[in-house]
Amino acid sequence: MVKLKLPDNSIIYFDEYSFKFSKTPHESNPDLNYTEKYDENKALSNFQTPDKQFSDCFRRIGEGPRYSSVKKHYEFDLTFLDDFYELKHLTGYGGMFSSSYREVQVLDGSIMTYQGYGFGNRSWTALSGFKVLRATCMFFGIIQPRLIKGEVEKRTLACILEELSQYKIKHNAFNRWNNPWKKNYNS
């Protein structure tokens, strides 16, 4: 187990074998050895010392805590949590030769994806929910905003990570193209 001090000064214990977070230290489970599948230094750096500015990564869209990515400086995928964890799919429609919409529930909100079809249709992805936004920031090394517009109660980052650890990790989670801690086998 690795003890992490998060940017809000909360403490969390990270089991590098099972990729789970806990507020209390416990015995690691080497049977679930994910350590070969990700770069542990990149992961720990993203969680403890984020280096990307929030305003360079997100913009607020609409009412409520709804944010979309800014394709300015950094490239990251807002659907990462859905690709990494087994989440509950709320709704979806669409098919071949038509637009599609998909919404997946995670923590206090959802990940919404719209794929436009045809000339003039736009595609977009948005995060809805304070904890979803904060979790995404932690995974990609984005500096947390002090307060998000509309946020009444700010949960500690340790609480959010522990809550996220209740979801089951997908069997191919570390092989996905959008994994922020993918090992660089060329170096």
DSSP result, 122-135: --EEEEESHHHHHH
Distance CA 41, CA 68 (A): 27
Element (H, E) at 21: strand 20-22
Structure confidence at residue 180 as a pLDDT band (50, 70, 90): low
Q: At what angle do helices 40-48 and 130-140 cross, to 10 degrees?
A: 130
**Residue for token pair 């305003």:** 55
Distance CA 169, CA 143 (A): 25
In 20-74, which ranges are continuous DSSP H helix?
40-48, 54-57
- Mean pLDDT confidence for 6-10: 85
Q: What is the pLDDT of residue 120?
A: 65
The listed range with the strongest mean pLDDT (54-63, 87-96, 119-128, 173-182) is 54-63
State mean pLDDT over 54-66.
Answer: 80
29's tokens: 């489970």
pLDDT in tens, 61-77: 877 777 877 776 666 77
Q: Would you call 173 helix, strand, or coil by DSSP?
A: helix
- Residue 91 makes CB contacts below 8 A (sequence gap 6+) with 101, 102, 103
CA dist., res. 35 & res. 16, Å (int) = 6
Mean pLDDT of 127-137: 86
What mean pLDDT is reported for the chain? 77
Residue carrying the six token digits 């599609």: 100
Q: What average pLDDT does this structure show over 114-119?
A: 72
Structure tokens at 33: 């050895």
How high is the pLDDT of residue 34?
64
Does residue 5 contact residue 48 with C-beta atoms inside 8 Å? yes
What's the pLDDT at 143?
Answer: 86
